[in-house]
Amino acid sequence: MSSPQPTPALLTRQVEELLQHGGPLPIVAAGDPVLRRIAEPYDGQLDDALLDRFVAALRETMHAAPGVGLAAPQVGVPLSIAVIEDQARGRKEALQARDRAPLPFRVLVNPVYEPEGEARAAFFEGCLSVPGWQAVTARYARVRLRGQDERGQAVDEVFTGWAARIVQHETDHLNGTLYLDVAEPRSLSTDEAVAAHWSQPTAETAAEVLGFELP
């Protein structure tokens, strides 16, 4: 049985209560039902001022975690809203291998992506809602994203490389999907194990040693 659709009044009250204490918001961990629901399409359930405050809180929470993306369900709010931003810090060879470049702050509302081509890239990936773990996840190398921004303006943009990975990860959250659902199970590693054994720019060594195939 599906859950009833939350009313705008209920969502407003939920967001206001989340924001009342200030600071980063608590991040919901895997196992909470909100992460397995399809988020409600955003169609103005929050007034503009509250939406701006909520987006600012999502960005603050993402930075504090730290992470490169955060979806509204990850703070318990079942709306199709996510924020992304990547300063692309790290070793030059790793950034190049991942096709990772700075991604300015963006708000994604009701995003939907589709692959452009069949090429995929596989790297270790983590999630703020699955703390302490990472797994190799194959993602499309190039996707077309459609949706809106926080002002309701249409978004129709192609993302490549690591930015495409971020877009797919956050959009999946809004569809009730965690990265573990599409990751390579044999690669599942703690953050400490990744740092100790799998810090190479690519996942080839991990695939060989742990016994899984890359696309």
The overall average pLDDT reported for the chain is 97
Give the residue-averaged pLDDT of 159-186.
Answer: 98
Q: Using omega within 30 degrees of 0 as the cis cutoff, is the peptide bond preceding 66 cis? A: yes
Residue with tokens 């509204």: 72
**Residues facing residue 120 across a β-bridge:** 140
169 assigned ligand-binding residue = yes
Residue range 69-92: mean pLDDT, rounded: 97
Tell me the longest C-alpha to C-alpha distance in the chain.
53
DSSP for residue 91: -
- Which residues form the catalytic set? 170
The annotation status of 21 as a binding-site residue, yes or no, is: no
For each of the domains in the chain, give its residue range(s) and CATH number, in order of start: 8-210 (3.90.45.10)
Nearest to 35 by CA among 166, 128, 114, 125: 128
Q: Are 166 and 143 in contact (CB under 8 A)?
A: no
Q: Over the stretch 13-40, which tens digit does the pLDDT of each residue have?
A: 999 999 998 999 999 999 999 999 999 9
- Is 63 labelled a binding residue? no
Average pLDDT estimate for 93-104: 97
Please name the helix (run of DSSP H) or strand (run of DSSP E) that holds residue 19, with its range, or none: helix 8-19
With DSSP H G I counted as helix, E B as strand and the rest as coil, what are the percentages for the chain, rounded to 5?
35, 25, 40
